Structure 1
């Protein structure tokens, strides 16, 4: 069963939350919508029926009894119940035919089944929430920031389950403010804001840089050698801040703006991602995705989520995860001699 937004527009008084857009989340498709908190809240409330569109419609098969299941940012679990108790309650509530053991195994909570929810870590609670959602067995899944603040193992489990649901022909919509999460999990990624719905291309890599003419690259005896400036400038509060390339963890391009990520902080750069790639290449940086450049000296681990979905885990204090495109994975393996 598909979920469709048809000429869907939302205004609050004179403010445009998002203009009219069309989007179809078909069966066996994972679609991510990258947006602000305000837009995400509006989308969730519209799907829940708490608010209505200013114009247009949201269409799905209303004859299906349990058509939509939600994975909210805040879990809403009963803290005093054990994992097994809360799953039994959910199974009865939704008259589910799915065995509890299957939901526990899928979320890898076997050794925690008797533990009360209040004694679990945040990531384990999110896995319990995911197990409850699986027991509901809806045709359409709506995920709100599904991997926010969870550990790598829980993220791996989440990605695996998302792709299992995809192969079961479920329709999956992810709403998130994390572009890396959207790219890692979804088949199609869109940005939704006051300017409308726009696709974020994730399948193809950036264009090959053009080779300059030989005349432009030849240095004659009369040529003056340029001064090599190795620091990367950024602008913060009207001040120019200079960073040495080895300080940079990774570079991200978001809506046409490049950002340097350094020790958990983000600094805007006036240079394009292509320009930064050319400048950083001699310092061991790698264009791992059309929207990301990573300092390979900071990479600790390469994670394979699915056959076509990869991430790089950095050895920094935040253990940042950066998307790695399929073609770049092949290139990286060649570089590493694998």
Structure 2
């Protein structure tokens, strides 16, 4: 497991990193990025960015395009981030998801070598996430390094690069699997379905969930959680135990930290040659990371 002992070590690493951390740590990372990369072409999108409320989207981006003086025209950014329908609207009247895309469009005008983003996916709907992730992947392929701060960790895993969490001054990288199961894992035995219940705990009760009601299971900060109808419940089961129990109920280990109910998957999205996400059919259109080593296995098993 890769660890970075300090902010300076993390920032100096050279790879794109996405960190689950507090706002205080995010502010410290921002200061470190500004200090280290002050001579490079940088772009910053902060959680507090609200723009000029009386400015239109088009004039706002035109203003920053004139500052950037790069090859990226503000009209191209409007089209790229699907903002044509709101180009004449005032910044102050935009929905949070649209404002988040405007902020990313502003950053794109600078064609940055280093891009620092605070919680870039938090306010986005499913379409906005797809646009943002595609832009991040595209810029990374062109050599841009991204440093993002996120919450929860799942958002870090959706983006190409190294996902980390912050704990007691250290930054710990999430193990990214390649699809090889070191201990053999749970053998897939066709479509046989067993009757079973998965336990989860609240403060006052133990709940028993039918696997059909579970959207996905997630391992985070040394605990395992079940996502059921938009709510999260901690379970005493480990991810390996859940995989063993649920594989015959239509669940697939799409990532070391995620087990997804395949019946809930509505879309498989590919952003680069090795970057995949699963979009669920729930009300929030939740995105789940699909490890590159698992994509071929999933395609072969389910003939997608």
**Alignment equivalent of 2:208, drawn from 242, 261, 272:** 242
* Cα distance change on mapping 1:79 and 1:107 into 2, 3 Å: same
* Cα distance change on mapping 1:211 and 1:190 into 2, 3 Å: closer
For 1:165 and 1:210, locate their aligned partners in 2 and report how far apart those are by CA, in whole Å: 37
1:25, 1:172 within 8 Å by CA — same for their partners in 2? no
1:25, 1:171 within 8 Å by CA — same for their partners in 2? no
Query: Are 1:230 and 2:196 matched, yes or no?
Result: yes
Query: Are 1:42 and 2:28 matched, yes or no?
Result: yes
Taking structure 2 as the reference length, the TM-score comes to 0.86
* Cα distance change on mapping 1:22 and 1:97 into 2, 3 Å: closer
Rg larger in structure: 1
Taking structure 1 as the reference length, the TM-score comes to 0.78
For 1:245 and 1:274, locate their aligned partners in 2 and report how far apart those are by CA, in whole Å: 16
Number of aligned pairs? 294
* Structure 1 stretches lacking a partner, 5+ long: 1-5, 10-19, 49-57, 213-227
For 2:6 and 2:260, locate their aligned partners in 1 and report how far apart those are by CA, in whole Å: 38
* Cα distance change on mapping 1:98 and 1:316 into 2, 3 Å: closer
* Cα distance change on mapping 1:265 and 1:169 into 2, 3 Å: same
Partner of 1:59: 36
* Cα distance change on mapping 1:287 and 1:84 into 2, 3 Å: same
For 2:303 and 2:30, locate their aligned partners in 1 and report how far apart those are by CA, in whole Å: 46
Return the offset for 1:331.
Answer: 1.7
Query: Are 1:311 and 2:277 matched, yes or no?
Result: yes
For 1:32 and 1:333, locate their aligned partners in 2 and report how far apart those are by CA, in whole Å: 27
Partner of 1:110: 84
Residue 78 of structure 1: SS of its match in structure 2? coil
For 1:22 and 1:296, locate their aligned partners in 2 and report how far apart those are by CA, in whole Å: 35
Return the offset for 1:75.
Answer: 2.8
For 1:84 and 1:77, locate their aligned partners in 2 and report how far apart those are by CA, in whole Å: 12
For 1:333 and 1:211, locate their aligned partners in 2 and report how far apart those are by CA, in whole Å: 19
Partner of 1:144: 118
C-alpha RMSD of the superposition: 2.6
- Higher percent of residues as strand: 1
Partner of 2:12: 24
Query: Are 1:170 and 2:116 matched, yes or no?
Result: no
* Structure 2 stretches lacking a partner, 5+ long: 187-193
Return the offset for 1:253.
Answer: 0.7
1:30, 1:185 within 8 Å by CA — same for their partners in 2? no
